[in-house]
Structure 1
Amino acid sequence: MSTNNHVAAVESRSQAPFYRPVTDEVEVFRAAARRGLPVLLKGPTGCGKTRFVEAMAHDLGRDLITVAGHEDMTSADLVGRFLLKGGETVWVDGPLTRAVRTGAICYLDEIVEARQDTTVVIHPLADHRRELPVDRLATTLPAAPGFQLVISYNPGYQSVLKNIKESTRQRFVAIELDFPPPEAEAEIVAHEAGVDADTARALVAVGNAIRNIDGSPLREASSTRMLILAGGLAAEGLGLRRAVQAAVVEALSDDRDVVRALGELVDAVLPGT
């Protein structure tokens, strides 16, 4: 597997990513960054964890290297490996090693999806040592100034087989993120989707109605990301009810009875659309 799989390019943004703070998460992150402390972000899918990291990297003036966790990820995918190039064997740094060398922020998204024996490689970087052993090069790399490790996961998916080890968790400063309060979420949806305030508030009302279903059969709630997608469809001229059906209702479940029930709930929240 190539080290480039599931890895986003180094971020280089001239304009700050839009992020609407909800509580004191920005202040906590900045304090951790000043100390070089690793940060654990936890929260539901689509609540803004990745956007938060992008905004903090821009705010701190640091490059951001993002890696999406997956069950086939190995330590070599993070650290690097020898590859054949032009008949020669050359070493190619993985994304974690690049971040360590350059002083970038390395964001391991949904780290719980990776095997636990893979995540152990981050332990020396997440404590007082701030170093990365590269066994295949028989060397240990000290983290460059500015390097920071950030990981995230969705507690709703954790299980006996998929959870963060305590030996990993206790090395991190934890920041819990959730869906924003209605007014803040409407501001986010309006900005990101390019819709007016009334449309954004209507979408947020739908999202909260679905999130508050008693005994919900859904694995995931209607996320802020989904509401932005629905808003984007509406901004392109699609009717609001149809936009919600496509971006939220149909995306949340394949069960026809569940989809029908969600549609009825949306009809009740969006009368006359």
Structure 2
Amino acid sequence: MNNTYQLPQPIAELLASSKNVDAKQPELIRQGGYVPPSMDLMIDAITALAMGKNLLLKGPTGAGKTKFAETLSNMFHQPMYSVNCSVDLDAESLMGFKTLAYHDNKQVIEFVPGPVTNAMNTGTFLYIDEINMAKPETLPLINGVLDYRRTVTNPFTNEIITAKKGFNVIAAINEGYIGTVPLNEALKNRFIIIDVPYIEGEQLRHLIASTTRLKDNHTIELFVQLSADLIAAVGQGKLSEDAASIRALLDACDLSTILPPKRAIQRAIAAKLEEVREREFVQNIADTLF
């Protein structure tokens, strides 16, 4: 089944503009969207989706994968149904479930569609978060959804569902976390993979200034440096990836407009880390900067 469709005009213009694509970044920031470290990431993701390919976003926690998916759905003017994977994910969580209802004073059994069913029937986006948290035996149910067939047999109604035009799948993955399992090759081969790194430097500076309550330029610079130090420590194996979460950093920036910055960092970043050693490491960096 050919699932490609006409690109909305702003996206067609973005793809056609190879020299001035970086000019789109301030626009994304103003709209509260994901700001990629390189516009190549955005262009590659848009291209894949426009061709009807499934997208797998790989990256550390807090790097903005969910925001990236939301931005893509907005750019395509597509609503997005979401699946949050866990070890408890089952067929009902994906496809829907049967329940008792009353019509004309008679008790009947109704089927309540789940996110996969809804997205396929309405021709919209489906977002599968933490896809490698699901049990390996659960995901093969939607293999047909993820390949050229774009079909699935609903195990609860025996209905064969074929996705309407515009349906597409974006998934996200954090590798190496407790509770995750490696994706099997058959599943991985159904995706185009985009690595989503942390944003840094000037982009992070703009993001803090435009999306948080913090407006003092000097303090913003200190938080940008804090982020760079945390990312470097993660790369050296001194901290877990949670410590460098951009989401947590933005929370700390907000809190710092009321609380002392070091206490804001303690609440928003350090306190989320499991090991005392890591919490102390983060606070030592904060003490040095602030």
Alignment of structure 1 residues 28-67 onto 2, 5 Å: 28-67=44-83
Aligned residues: 253
The runs of 5 or more residues in structure 1 that have no matched partner are 1-14
- Separation in 2 of the partners of 1:53 and 1:139? 29
AA matched with 2:34: Y
* Pairing partner for 1:84 from 100, 108, 111: 100
Question: Are 2:282 and 1:262 equivalent residues in the alignment?
Answer: yes
Alignment of structure 1 residues 238-249 onto 2, 5 Å: 238-249=259-270
* Pairing partner for 2:253 from 226, 231, 248: 231
- Residues 231 and 61 of structure 1: is their aligned pair in 2 closer, same or farther, counting only changes over 3 Å? same
Cα deviation, residue 251, structure 1 = 1.7
- Residues 215 and 53 of structure 1: is their aligned pair in 2 closer, same or farther, counting only changes over 3 Å? closer
- Separation in 2 of the partners of 1:49 and 1:200? 23
Q: SS where residue 111 of structure 2 aligns?
A: strand
Q: What is the CA RMSD across the aligned residues, in angstroms? A: 1.9
Cα deviation, residue 190, structure 1 = 2.1
- Separation in 2 of the partners of 1:242 and 1:98? 44
AA matched with 2:264: A
What are the Cα deviations for residues 63-112 of structure 1, in whole angstroms up to 9, with x where unaligned? 11122111101022101121122332111111110000001111010011
* Pairing partner for 1:122 from 112, 136, 142: 142
- Residues 261 and 33 of structure 1: is their aligned pair in 2 closer, same or farther, counting only changes over 3 Å? closer
Cα deviation, residue 139, structure 1 = 2.1
AA matched with 2:282: L
* Pairing partner for 1:173 from 192, 201, 204: 192
Cα deviation, residue 56, structure 1 = 0.8
Cα deviation, residue 217, structure 1 = 4.8
Cα deviation, residue 229, structure 1 = 0.4
Aligned to 2:273: 252
Whether the aligned pair in 1 keeps the contact of 2:146 and 2:190 (CA below 8 Å) is yes
- Residues 58 and 265 of structure 1: is their aligned pair in 2 closer, same or farther, counting only changes over 3 Å? same
Cα deviation, residue 261, structure 1 = 3.1
- Separation in 1 of the partners of 2:241 and 2:75? 34
The normalised TM-score by structure 1 is: 0.86
Aligned to 1:5: none
